[in-house]
Amino acid sequence: MKKNLTLTLITALLGYLSSYGQSISYTGGNTMTLTVNTAITSNTPTVTGNNAKRFRIKPALPPGLSFDRKSGTISGTPTTGSPSTTYLLSCKADDGKKTAPLKIVVNNPVVLADYKPSVRRFLVDTLDAAKAMRPSSVISGAVYTISPSLPDGLKINEETGEITGTPFVTAKAANYTVTATDVKTQAATTYLVNITVSPRSDEIITPATVSFVGEGNIQQSLNTRQKLSANTGIGVVFRQASNKRFGILHDIEVDFSINVASTVDTLKSINNASNEVTNKQDFGNSVLLPLNSGQAFSFGFKGYLTQKGGENGNYRRNQVSKPLGGVLSGFNISLAGSNRNWEYNDQDKDIAPVPVKTSLLSFYAGPFYEFYIPNAKSGFSRNVSITLGVGYSARWILGDIQQGSHSDQMVKLLGTNRNSFNGAEIQLGLRFYNIKAEVHLPFFSNRDGVPGLTGTHLTTFIGFSGGFPIDLTKPSSGS
């Protein structure tokens, strides 16, 4: 009660101050703030002087309001918005002509939640015309704006106020204020809407994880007649769907592993009675497969491409990718390297053999096609597949072994002093969630008859990631 009384007194005081000194004054002051389609209480002015008559006002009042020229009374219901305008009042009294200014502004009513619907949940990467948000009635000649900014991919039509689009990212439920501003009158109508952007039900989000990783090489085991060679270390496996802004790039997959043995593997020569190396193939295989070492790393990158033509013409986000031209699923780049010691055991000398540091590097780049089960659930088809690729392959021998002082030893161990080999390579892979098996068939044109590189060698390995994965995308429990 006290609060309402205070507001009434303040309003009356402001009205008095605004009309103070005016020869023609209205109740509440000579500034009127009105609302469209809201009737006003008839307001008759007070004039300083007797027998006031012949009231006039210029310019004409906003539509819906009337002016009584006998009494100066203003009444009616404004029908359209009008910006703040100053009008000139005049009348005649016994002591002469009287004049006074009068300001009137007519606002459009403030409308909250006048959208159909006013609350909407959109889905990431989905354009659904049925989910568009529209005002219940469009204000002709108005410009629609919204605050704060909509989630990426959503937009508001400035002429109609329609909110639609294909959102790129998820967004929590939030309120947005839409304002429709009349260009001519600058009168504003305000709406309140609530928008959420949720992930699709068929979307798979595979976070970056840190895991124990490993590889086992079957081919080396067959060649050397030894037990299956396996390496373990620390690695990162990452797969993330990209958004529409990357066009034909559907998603990427990155894996990185490091073998962290404390000592460097030493590959020793086996010499016969003539001092000839009989296990040159082991050295050739170490060039062909540098990853099979205690100190090694591997890096792999796959970019999956997709045709345009998914839902509503987008690039098939959160669906199984559709190969370009029906034959190109993506491109593959891989890099691997290792440190080893190469040791030549000279039978003609009594001195102990000296191991020579050797660094080996392999590189592959090329397109691939991925076979998967069509129309299967995304979780199955994205993680179980067969891949066929053809590309460029190369091997490099680095480190002390390829220096001039050790070139003779390199020739004895490998059969050549060439330090690079390149050519084509065919890859066939099978993926089953975090396990992959691949077959590589390299064709090196400049192999120089090196055992282990001569002809086409079938290299097979099984890679895995597992152990105790740590989700890098979630905050720790202590934060």
b (16+ CB within 10 A) / e for 30-51 = bbbebbbeeeeeeeebebeeee
Residue ranges of the chain whose pLDDT lies below 50: 1-5, 7-21, 113, 204-214, 216-221, 224, 227-234, 242-244, 312, 375-380, 460-479
Dig out the tokens for 41 from the structure. Answer: 């209480």
Enter the tokens of residue 51. 């027998």
Prior bond of 59 cis (ω within 30°): yes
Quick one: which of 218, 238, 239, 215 has its CA closest to 228?
218
**Residue 321 three-state SS:** coil
Confidence at residue 7, expressed as pLDDT on a 0 to 100 scale = 44
Tracing tokens 């392999």 back to the chain, one arrives at 362
Can you tell me the distance from the alpha carbon of 203 to that of 456, in angstroms, rounded to the nearest whole number?
41
Cβ proximity of 243 and 256 under 8 Å? no
**Which secondary structure element, helix H or strand E, spans residue 219, and what is its range?**
helix 218-224
Q: CA-based angle 356:362:365, to the nearest 5? A: 170
The DSSP call for residue 23 is: S
Classify residue 28 as exposed, middle or buried by CB count within 10 Å of its CB (0-12, 13-18, 19+).
middle
DSSP helix/strand/coil, 189: strand
Output the pLDDT for position 189: 80
pLDDT at 169: 78
pLDDT recorded at residue 143: 92
Q: How far apart are CA 372 and CA 388, in angstroms?
A: 12
Residue 331, pLDDT score: 93
Q: What is the pLDDT of residue 240?
A: 56
Q: Are 107 and 34 in contact, with CB atoms under 8 Å apart?
A: yes
pTM of model > 0.85: no
Distance CA(463)–CA(214), nearest Å, equals 6
Q: Which of 342, 343, 345 is nearest to 275 (CA)?
A: 345
- Any bridge partners for residue 72, and if so which? none
